[in-house]
Amino acid sequence: MNYETPLFFHVMEYADAADRDVIDMVSGNPDWQPPDALREGLREYADLEPDRFQYPPSEGLLELREEIATRRGVDADRIVVTNGAGEANYLAMARALERDSGDEILLTDPVYPYYPGKTTMLGGTQSYVATDEAGQLDPDDVRAAASAETAAIVVNTPNNPTGAVYPAETMRELVAIAEEVDAVLISDEVYDHYDLSGEFASALEIDSDHRVVTNAVSKSMAVTGVRVGYAVFPPGLVANAKSRHMLVNVATTRPGQYAVLKALRETGPDYYERNRQRLRDRVETFTDALDAAGAEYTSPSGSFYVMARFDGYPGTLENVERLIDEAGVAGMPGEAFGDSRTEWLRFALVTPCVEEAAERLARYFD
């Protein structure tokens, strides 16, 4: 089997190896601080007794699951703590495919490339529903594409790469469609703390045996390297997901879970608001400069990403590598996100150098 390995690490390595200074706008790695309580939790952990360095419960530390359960208004039994949203999505997709209710995974175009990669790995088949120019998904298009063959509909809001935030009505309809065709709606909400629009609606708001919500603190606490996420399953689907998690991973990081629990308890809303404000400022700075450069671009309602289109410079891997070498700015090729954005490049606003990056782009495309 030929797995489709997403291109992110390839482009990051190319940028690292470049012969010049490069502004990294490839990855979704935040450059801002984690909460103080998270650092304190990791420090404290180093001095705990040897038993705390042994296996935690496979499904996650009970106190962490209870903390998440309280915040999300669900029963703790339905939560599996995972190695980030990445594993949560994998467990959810695997669980949907093993229900014997179809082997098709309905995805959006553009798409976060790990979803089609996981689909192939799990023996499913991909189908795509196009979003509109703003990245919004029309539930009627999803309904038209869904059938008895559909095992899961996988969506991501706020969205990578489009920056779209789906309204509550869309989320309600998506859950309803999953129910109609006996599929599972999987809603990846890893950017929920970066809703810049106030319109974000979690799929958790719609109670259903046909939806799984995945999330992580990777982005919300600026710790993509700590690897703590979770999935909320319907009661009837959770047992197998816990078994798969155990068989694949045994468990996930115990120090990480401890520090995340402390940070969840002790971090106030101002931490998250500061991070949103920083992102708003960067979006403005970057898009102002893109305006000056005469580029077309997306203004995100959420997540970290701006997509831009420069005349005569399609979003191929080759052009991304040329931009690294010749302009000193590293982005992602639009072609990595499906067929609909092949003319575009994606830039992650996770560097303090967004203004300099935009100026470099303006000079290069002048």
Ligand X SMILES: Cc1ncc(COP(=O)(O)O)c(C=O)c1O
- Give yes or no for residue 260 binding ligand X (CB under 6 A): no
- Give yes or no for residue 64 binding ligand X (CB under 6 A): no
Axis crossing angle, helix 238-249 with helix 84-97, rounded to the nearest 10: 130
- Give yes or no for residue 302 binding ligand X (CB under 6 A): no
Place of tokens 């005349």: 311
- Give yes or no for residue 112 binding ligand X (CB under 6 A): yes
- Give least dist CB 86 to ligand X, A: 3
Binding ligand X (rule: CB under 6 A), the pick from 156, 162, 187, 287 is: 156
19 by Cβ neighbours in 10 Å (0-12 / 13-18 / 19+) ranks as exposed
- Give yes or no for residue 338 binding ligand X (CB under 6 A): no
According to DSSP, residue 57 is labeled: P
Residue 192 near residue 220, CB atoms below 8 Å:
yes
Among the residue ranges 10-18, 145-153, 169-177, 216-224, the one whose residues contact ligand X (CB under 6 A): 216-224
Binding ligand X (rule: CB under 6 A), the pick from 216, 222, 231, 330 is: 216
- Give least dist CB 299 to ligand X, A: 18
Give how many residues touch ligand X by CB under 6 A: 13
Place of tokens 């990445």: 86
**331 to 14, 30, 180, 276: CA distances (angstroms):** 11, 15, 40, 21
Cα–Cα dist 76/64, whole Å? 9
Token pair, residue 317, equals 């891997």
- Give least dist CB 118 to ligand X, A: 11
Count CB-CB contacts under 10 A for residue 196.
Answer: 20
- Give least dist CB 233 to ligand X, A: 17
Helices marked H in 122-253 — which ranges?
139-145, 168-180, 238-249
Binding ligand X (rule: CB under 6 A), the pick from 28, 56, 110, 328 is: 28
121: nearest Cα among 151, 94, 96 = 94
Residue 321 near residue 338, CB atoms below 8 Å:
no
- Give least dist CB 28 to ligand X, A: 4
* Closest CB to ligand X: residue number: 84
- Give yes or no for residue 220 binding ligand X (CB under 6 A): no
How many Å is the Cα radius of gyration of the chain? 20
Nearer to ligand X, 109 or 179 (CB): 109
- Give yes or no for residue 84 binding ligand X (CB under 6 A): yes
Among the residue ranges 78-86, 242-250, 282-290, 339-347, the one whose residues contact ligand X (CB under 6 A): 78-86
Binding ligand X (rule: CB under 6 A), the pick from 218, 252, 287, 351 is: 218
Binding ligand X (rule: CB under 6 A), the pick from 190, 226, 237, 295 is: 190
Among the residue ranges 79-87, 166-174, 252-260, 336-344, the one whose residues contact ligand X (CB under 6 A): 79-87
- Give least dist CB 156 to ligand X, A: 4
- Give least dist CB 50 to ligand X, A: 29
- Give yes or no for residue 119 binding ligand X (CB under 6 A): no
- Give yes or no for residue 229 binding ligand X (CB under 6 A): yes
Count CB-CB contacts under 10 A for residue 76.
Answer: 17
Cα–Cα dist 145/154, whole Å? 13
Binding ligand X (rule: CB under 6 A), the pick from 85, 111, 177, 332 is: 85
- Give yes or no for residue 59 binding ligand X (CB under 6 A): no
Token pair, residue 256, equals 């990480």
Nearer to ligand X, 85 or 175 (CB): 85
**201 to 107, 193, 284, 348: CA distances (angstroms):** 19, 11, 24, 23
- Give yes or no for residue 287 binding ligand X (CB under 6 A): no
CA 69 to chain centroid = 21
* Backbone torsions φ then ψ of 237, nearest 5 degrees: -110, -5
Residues found near ligand X in the complex (CB under 6 A)? 28, 84-86, 112, 156, 160, 188, 190, 216, 218, 224, 229
